[in-house]
Amino acid sequence: MNAVYDWFDQNGSVDYVVPYALGETDPLVDNNSVDNRKRNRRLEIYLVPDEVMIQQAKKGRINIGLMSR
């Protein structure tokens, strides 16, 4: 998690980046095996668009398909 925050800090802005960990308190699966603990180590990124981004998307200037890779 810190590596991602550091990357944003070095390559852009962290003004709107809020890092927090949920793996231990909000696991996807039970933490009862090594494989399950691996599955629970994850990074979730949520993008909250502003009005400009919404307008660009309505005009077809944002390709959402590239974001799902």
**Residues 45/34, Cβ–Cβ less than 8 Å:** no
* pLDDT given for residue 10 in this prediction: 92
The structural domains of the chain, with segments of one domain joined by +, span: 2-68
What is the percent of the chain with per-residue pLDDT over 70, rounded to a whole number? Answer: 87
Separation between Cα atoms, residue 20 and residue 38, nearest integer Å? 18
**Residues 15/5, Cβ–Cβ less than 8 Å:** no
Separation between Cα atoms, residue 13 and residue 39, nearest integer Å? 29
In tens, the pLDDT along 2-43 reads 888 898 899 988 888 888 777 678 889 998 999 998 888 888
Total H helices, total E strands in the chain: 3, 0
Q: Give the pLDDT band (50/70/90) at residue 69.
A: very low
Q: Give the pLDDT band (50/70/90) at residue 1.
A: low
